[in-house]
Amino acid sequence: MLDQLGKFKILRPLGKGAMGEVYLARDLRLGREVALKVIHSGTAFGDEAQARFEREAQAAAALNHPHVVTVYDFGEEEGIHYLVMEYVEGEDLDALIRRGGAGKADLLELLAQVCEGLAYAHARGVVHRDIKPSNVLVTRHGGRLHAKLMDFGVAQMGQSSLTQSGTWMGTVNYMAPEYLDTGRASASSDLFAVGVMLYEVLTGGRKPFQGDTATAVLNRILLHPAEPLRPRDLDDVPGRLLPVLDRALAKNPSARYADGEALAAAIRQAVAAIPDSRETVPSAPPPPPSAVVKPEGWTQPIRVGKGGTGHCLSLRVALRNARSGSQILLLPGHYRESVVVDKDVTIRAEGDAGAVVLEGTSGPAVTIQVPGVVLKGFTLRGTSKGPALLSAGGGALVEACVLQGPQGCADLGSGASVQFQDCRLEARGPLGLRVGEEAQVRMEGGSVSGASTAGLLVLPGGQALLRGTILEQGPGVGVRVQERGQATLDGCTVRGAEAGAVEVEPDGRVQLSRCRLEASRFAGILALERSQALLEDCDLTGHACSGAHVLAGANVLLRQCRVRENPGFGISIMDRGLATLDGCTVQANGGAGLLIHHGATLQARGCTFSEGRSLGVDCAEGGQAVLDGCEISGNAGVGVQVEPGGSLLLVRCTLKEGRDTGILLLEDSQATLEECVVHRNARGGILLAKDASDPVLRGANRIDDDLLRLDAGGSLVKVAPLSGR
């Protein structure tokens, strides 16, 4: 080991890499401790390491930010090239994540700090190109964790680069799709890497794109979505982080956050879980600045309508003569024309929405082609030739309007971005609101009704946010989310949709908070293969099949939800489905409160399964379930039934006051009770089929009711208490 290098006295090694070593050293002239990175010119990596040192010195020297490690100096002494950096006492973020050295909220704050450092670097033309947890140093300032971004050795500065175009630099797991595809990095590529780190923080270090080889990982990044999160990955964090993660990992760089500051703000808002209409999430981007209603008097409006006050009779004529930013006032009347809006204008009605009707003739009533359009206070009526509103990639704010049409109320094409405020969408055909590929919609208040196929349809890559909206009364499904589509519903009601309230198709995602899903002829929520759904503080009632129906490979998490009075099952989990319940109430359902069927898996914590007209919990063939701290009480049928091939673990559970048996174990089933209470069940505590195995008892169980077994003749026989009782 070196003892001294020029004016730097070597104290101890800090680390070693393929190209050199890093030491803790003391600057003998200034008397401060520094991190000294060195490379010997004679090594195989000498030329490349020297180039990287120069790059790192040039890049970091231009940056002076609290979340970027400061570079003090660069030079050569006795054939050894060295880089002198600020010494940060701590550990890297990778180690912190993997050893669980901090809570998720603290780790997320560190990512927000990294984003701030990147925003500063990007504003000065520096793209890092190797963002990963091991390049983030973490130290403590008092009780607060502080992040420092380091290692700009492969950074790109402005248009210059030591590598040729099309050459990758960095770590493949964190490379953005466009970087892998072209070899050209951008600020957005760095933000994609932050998205990968966000996934690692949530999962304890798991990568979103996995493969046995670098080529396999590359293929996953380019062609496939991130690996689905598991329910436990969202422990201790709000569900609002899901859309933030999805946007950060978007394949298209234009769909990601605009800059590091925006991503930092989104992470912090999600962690704080503060409802904020300004919050930037992929399912609800704010409208562009020009899509804000201009104040009265901002410009002299063009008046359309009959009478002495009208400037013209046709809205089409008014649009042809309007300038960008103009206001157009529709006087009361019925206008039959299809118009194309290709300027950022405001069109508003005089009087209420029923006094002014714009009805399409040759196509949609309104086609929007540009961002910044405002429609306010009138009725749009489509025809068999087109919907009431069509956005062909444009953006709009639609406020206090009524939309009607046999071909749909609103159709948002690819790339469109539309916000609805207090609007009524009255479908008279298949669809209420259609969100196309890569389109985005935000709907505040208002209602959608009458659709025969879907009130809200989100196509692949589309994103929707609804707050305080009512979707009701249609023969179709209330909300349908297709592959790679995303929908967030907050404070919404989906009522009377005959084909089901919410349907999530393969690889789709939904998040529901404070919603009511009521009275369908199928399921409150149907999660199909490989889909993901998160429900928080929701009510699922009156569904003929099931309150929640989870199919093969789907992953559903319910927190603090109430699943009540469904004529069918409360919650049914089918072939290889996965569900996690946390603090839920499952009550007074017609079928089993909980059905775990054919290879499905359930985890339930702090839940109640009570007052059902059938079984409380039915663990069927191949089903597996863990119930922790749950109560099963007052059910008309058996409290818990484990069928042949089923496996059930009950921990600190109470089974009481059932009108049948507390637990029924059939042959070839497995059940384990740990610190459970079984008492006051009308027929008995535990009933064993003729060839069933005894349950495994662990810890101090309290079983007050009789232990029964069916004999060869089918009669009930009381047997001796189990050992360990």
Q: How many CB atoms lie within 10 A of CB 171?
A: 18
Q: Are 534 and 234 in contact (CB under 8 A)?
A: yes
Q: Are 436 and 460 in contact (CB under 8 A)?
A: no
SS3 state at 481: strand
Cα–Cα distances (Å) from 459 to 184, 283, 304, 613, in that order, read 30, 13, 36, 39
H or E element: which one contains 94? helix 93-98
CA atoms of 133 and 89, how far apart (whole Å): 16
Beta bridge partners of 262: none
Q: For 528, which DSSP code?
A: -
Rounded (5°) CA angle 285-196-184: 85
Which residue type is seen at 705? Answer: D
Which DSSP string corresponds to 164-184? PTT---S-GGG--HHHHHHS-
Q: Give the relative orientation of helices 187-203 and 241-248 as an angle to the nearest 10 degrees.
A: 140
H or E element: which one contains 464? strand 463-467
Strands in 205-297 per DSSP E: none
Q: Are 461 and 483 in contact (CB under 8 A)?
A: no
Q: How many CB atoms lie within 10 A of CB 31?
A: 7
On the CB side of 63, how many CA atoms lie within 13 Å of its CA? 35
Which residues carry out catalysis? 130
The token pair that represents 334 in the structure block: 């019925």
Q: Are 311 and 317 in contact (CB under 8 A)?
A: no
